[in-house]
Chains A and B, each alone.
Chain A
Amino acid sequence: MKKNSRRLLILLAAIVTLNACRPDKFEDTGAVRNVKTSLGGTWKLSKVTQKDEDAAQKGFPYSILDLTTLFPYTDYSITLNVTNSGQTTTFTTTPGNSPTVIAVANGDWNAGPSQYPTYLAFKQGSATDTLTLGSYPAGGRNVLQLKKERRDASTGKLLVSYTYEFTKQ
């Protein structure tokens, strides 16, 4: 009787141990999020900052200036059109009295590289303006950040940048 109990206990321990070794089941995370789809819609400019990149590199004071209220930047909005399958198509801008933000007013836009874009390119005829993508408007964060870099024409050194923060309408 005592022997049987011991065997039963060993059997039970073995079952529990083997069950514990079974791999966990992970839920399917679903299809990969299409970032370009989240970029579609109308975006209104809400904040503009100018950065003296050279001063910032050197650790100097006065390296960033908030321009939002100095010019009517908040007049500016842009509509990015995207197909249901996430293909970028056309864009239009409404500048109002805002200083130039994107050098072209309307045309086609593209986000690249393909799956996880780092820049947005706006094309009107033969003219293209490219801005760096600062952050994706993911989850509940409906903010799109674009950065325009200005480089010395002869050396290519980054001198000034403008960061544009858009809020989805």
Chain B
Amino acid sequence: MNKLIILLAFSCLTIGALHAQNPTFSPSTYTAEDQVTLTVDVTGTPMAGEAEAYIWIFSNTSIDRSNAALSAQYPAADGSTNTNWTNSPPEAKMTAAGTNKWSFTFIGTQIFGQSPAQLKDFGFLVKTKTGTKQTSDYKPNFFDPLVFTPTMLRVFPAKVSTSDIVTINFDRSLGGTVNEQRMTPVSATVTAYDETNAQIGTAVTLQVRVFATNTWAATFIPTRHFTPGAGHQLTKFRYKFNGTVLDISGATVNVSSAEQEVTFTRMN
């Protein structure tokens, strides 16, 4: 019986070792906009024992190229370090990370010159500078999708300057309280602040419009409504939506949503 247990434990360890991840990534999950370091063990490949290693990297290896729509959405691209197979540039040189282990740090959008929306995964291989030896492809390695998180209060564009057209949005279906989930917005209140956190002028009430089902919006230009005092700057604003709900007796009650603060971005 003991022998059987030892045999089972040994089998589990062996299977685990066989399935050890190679390559590994730090951080373990990353988007196309994140900096990631890959480390690969080339033991057992033609690159084992080499003193130097260079990367050859390429994007969107998992895409079915017979699918025109997917191919257009995720074009294949070479990394900017793939300049010459027989003479890899210094930028493609990998860093030694132990015996037969090499690492390389990059940001997907930068190395492939593609937007996050165009990047699904990447592949790479390890080679000598002159390309006389190489590993097989390590692919596909998936980027985490950049996920849009819907929220009750949302500003469009996500980053705004004081002179931009700013649209504030309220999505009732994402309300956190019963009043927010039930209210029908009729106005939005915006207050602005300078760099000392002092309120600039008085709060402005904006008329709201229906933007989509359960979503209302109001649009304004900060510099048209708020003028900071001499020597001060328009730094941020807070906004909330106001509306009505019916109480238990059917009477109309005025309610407001939670408030959100937005800091202006300096733009040229």
Contacts and interface: CB of A to CB of B under 8 A. Distances in A.
B268 A150 contact: yes
B265 A152 contact: yes
Contact of A159 (B116, B148, B163, B265): B265
Interface residues of A, number: 27
Interface stretch (B10-18, B153-161, B237-245): B153-161
**Size band of the B side of the interface?**
20 to 34
A11 interface: no
Contact of A160 (B116, B146, B267): B267
Majority SS at the chain B contact face = loop
Nearest to A151: B268
Contacts of A54: 157-159
Contact of B165 (A50, A58, A159): A50
Given A50-B165, A152-B267, A160-B164, A60 B159 contact: no
Interface string A50-74: 1111111111111001010011000
A58 B117 contact: yes
B115 A57 contact: yes
A153 B266 CA distance: 5
Contact of B117 (A52, A57, A62): A57
Contact of A60 (B148, B266, B268): B148
A162 B204 CA distance: 25
B194 to A, nearest CB: 18
Interface string B204-244: 00000000000000010100100000000000000000000
